[in-house]
Chains A and B, each alone.
Chain A
């Protein structure tokens, strides 16, 4: 096991091409930590993983495992276990040989190999298929063989590149739990790449949100979900993402009206808004909008377009009144009934309101942490 430190790492794939796959990423990962790199396609997640594994040279920067500089160590000297998206199992070898290959290559004695492989196979529930070749395995089994092969060598660093993306939805959920369970058992420093935020939020100790080769936010799942650093993360994390509206505000009597009265905020927001300028981006997560009148400090008036019944909840598609192009999604109680074209008022508490700079999209922190009702905000997810 080892901690990982990345110092200003950068990757350009070609000297002529000016596009930068990874740009000035610095990150330190604690021993035994489970880090998830989250971001849309092409943002450089795989590139970072490959640089950690030594499969790709750094253009600049440093990578440290513990107190060892790894920049020029070849992959075989790094003690890294990696699970590829395609699994990359050795097709001509049985499950046993797939797992044993790395141990043999490192010159472990035969009885010891046998013991380690059998332990790992036991842990992963693969005993019944130990003599099968990869093509005789199901998707989930292949996935577990890939995990086992990477873990059986007791690597210092464990890397996974979208390991669940080839599985169907049910299996993915099941394997997600299994991964969490296995990590609890082996406690190896893990960097996990995904563009599925459910995986990120459920598995990670800390999530690293990336966009366009840069790190946009590093934080616990609660921080990422509860205080997204900018509108990109607010919209990207959560399913569906946060509603974001960029509107002008004005003070009318005791409340603040935005977008010609579509949104009504209490007067307590005034100081923040004044410092933010005449236009500001308001964000409210769909799951915090409701029809309740109890925590009704914030009101959102909208016109219903469609109500989808999704079993566990109903998803409301609407648009803000007087702001026809601006759409809204809300997650309502399962047995809600509203008519299309009906005008309704959705409510939420002040703690569920996020503010972002209208120009830069950066988060504007509300006055002091205790102002935000952090506690009950996370329980709902």
Chain B
């Protein structure tokens, strides 16, 4: 007995051979098109669940945000009325909004180079350990990545203790190094740097993994040839590794720009958000994300917060475009 499957296998070449001779072109197309639609259907079917989540929780809220930024929008929606650009006008009259922008720029401008330097440095060390067949490099890699998989709100609370001016670990280390103790989260000058340290620590693992991926794309032979060419370590880094991983570096820069602009949880958790504060002391940690949150959920001025988010969206987009423009001139793609 021949199984149906075997049958089709035997028949298929016959049929196609037939068609190419006798069946007119249009008729020949039809089954193939049907097949195409079937394929498409399956593809969309498989994509549907994740697309649905994406549309539901991302696109719809985003467009709704655009919509409500033109209204005076109460949370019970009874007092909703169209106000045009009034929200944007209000925004431009808010000194705190500009202050938050400056704070965000400060935060981002420190975070980008710090992220790149630190994560690239750690990635280079880890790679050295792997190629030098040092034992335990897997443990180090795990150790670096571990903070990233912990919830940032939880670990931020630990950092609050570390930065405690009286008995925190940070000041303990500083005083032991003979440096003055700092006020950290209680000081308008040092609160934001404290948040930066927490954020760096938390996100380092992710960027290290990305850089390790980038470094693994640099062929070992290139490094070897460069050594034979007489290049010193820093020359190899500067002239070979750095240009070749520039796509990765660019990716990290873009990613950390976006993440920094949107930094919220760690600031919220570290500056007393759970107790109704956040952004202090003296608004020194009020980044735009914090301000948006407070406007919406502390002062319940949703449409103003929506307008604020839109402005931020535009700023991030412009920044990304500028970065893209720069990258086209600096980044080396193979």
A75-B224, A82-B225 are contacts. A105–B334 as well, Cβ < 8 Å? no
Candidates A74, A84, A92, A102; contact of B332 at CB < 8 Å: A92
Query: Is A101 a contact partner of B226 (Cβ separation < 8 A)?
Result: yes
Q: Is A258 an interface residue (CB 8 A)?
A: no
User: Closest residue to A74 on the B side, CB-wise?
Assistant: B227
Query: Contacts of A55 on B, CB cut-off 8 Å?
Result: 224, 227-228
Interface string of A83-122 (1 = CB under 8 A from B): 0101010111000000001100110000000000000000
Report Cα–Cα, A125/B235, bound state, in Å.
29
Interface size on B, residues (CB 8 A): 19
**Residue of B226, B230, B334 most packed against chain A (CB within 10 A):** B230
Q: Is A81 an interface residue (CB 8 A)?
A: yes
In the complex, chain B residues 281-334 whose Cβ is within 8 Å of any chain A Cβ: 332, 334
What is the minimal beta-carbon distance from A76 to any residue of chain B, in angstroms?
5
Query: Contacts of A102 on B, CB cut-off 8 Å?
Result: 228-231
A84-B221, A86-B219, A105-B235 are contacts. A91–B244 as well, Cβ < 8 Å? yes
Query: Is B229 a contact partner of A149 (Cβ separation < 8 A)?
Result: yes
What is the minimal beta-carbon distance from B245 to any residue of chain A, in angstroms?
11
Q: Is A208 an interface residue (CB 8 A)?
A: no
User: Closest residue to A14 on the B side, CB-wise?
Assistant: B133
Q: Is A210 an interface residue (CB 8 A)?
A: no
Query: Contacts of B183 on A, CB cut-off 8 Å?
Result: none
What is the minimal beta-carbon distance from A167 to any residue of chain B, in angstroms?
18
What is the minimal beta-carbon distance from A328 to any residue of chain B, in angstroms?
42
Query: Is A86 a contact partner of B221 (Cβ separation < 8 A)?
Result: yes
Q: Is A53 an interface residue (CB 8 A)?
A: yes
User: Closest residue to A99 on the B side, CB-wise?
Assistant: B229
Query: Is B229 a contact partner of A105 (Cβ separation < 8 A)?
Result: yes
A84-B225, A135-B334 are contacts. A90–B240 as well, Cβ < 8 Å? yes
Interface string of A40-68 (1 = CB under 8 A from B): 00000000000001010000000000000
Query: Is B229 a contact partner of A153 (Cβ separation < 8 A)?
Result: yes
Query: Is B227 a contact partner of A76 (Cβ separation < 8 A)?
Result: yes
**Residue of A81, A82, A150 most packed against chain B (CB within 10 A):** A82
Query: Is A76 a contact partner of B231 (Cβ separation < 8 A)?
Result: yes
Report Cα–Cα, A81/B230, bound state, in Å.
10
Q: Is A364 an interface residue (CB 8 A)?
A: no
A residues whose Cβ falls under 8 Å from a Cβ of B: 53, 55, 74-76, 78, 80-82, 84, 86, 88, 90-92, 101-102, 105-106, 135, 149-150, 153
B residues whose Cβ falls under 8 Å from a Cβ of A: 219, 221-222, 224-232, 235, 239-240, 243-244, 332, 334
